[in-house]
Structure 1
């Protein structure tokens, strides 16, 4: 995807959603500005993304379940599910190691939500999917290898 197109889509989509929420009084303009970790979403190396997320000391956890196909036929839309059995899960972040931009998605969860998400992500090639879970102020991590037969995004 052309990086300028990606920038326009990110800015337009993000501004539209946050503008509606701010106009409705659901969030303040300051909350809308702080909601997105720009450095993490624009990181082009896994180390930079983890550093931006403050995940240098994330503990490995078997309480994070990553559902993904062993072999994804089309990298343009790979189905992923993540569930956390860690009490007080606040956030789930999905990182794709071999994608041009490492952070694929970030979900903030309220206490009323089940710590489980389902989404589709683009994957450039076969790689590890990393998941970070923030729970009770601590970070936990899990990984899973996914083989992609046809890549879904360019560099």
Structure 2
């Protein structure tokens, strides 16, 4: 199974000027299963149980760095959900976050909203939470309601 790559593009200058994430954060994925809201901060990525998901952030303005400082589902901390945080390095903006979708214990028709916390500006502690992102399973096919033909005395 191929990993799902979620790429977040961030207009850091717009965030520094006080604009909300809706006009400064653009999320895309490479899912072949029909994700929704590509290019928005409310991306709904379609996933499979057991699939590896990778999050990477890229600034639109290359003069100001941006990176993921936290990724969490619901009220849980990132480490509680099996999401691997970026290691503490001198260049956190060069790292990606990744984790596997649990293979069991999740509802096949559920949406799993998550929150990214972005940090930007090497000399300042600016943080912005991006909420509204969702991981979801593909829709389940409808049950077949056509009756099965039976053979009675050689006639269908």
Tell me whether the two structures share a fold, i.e. TM-score over 0.5.
no
Taking structure 2 as the reference length, the TM-score comes to: 0.30
- Which structure: larger Rg? 2
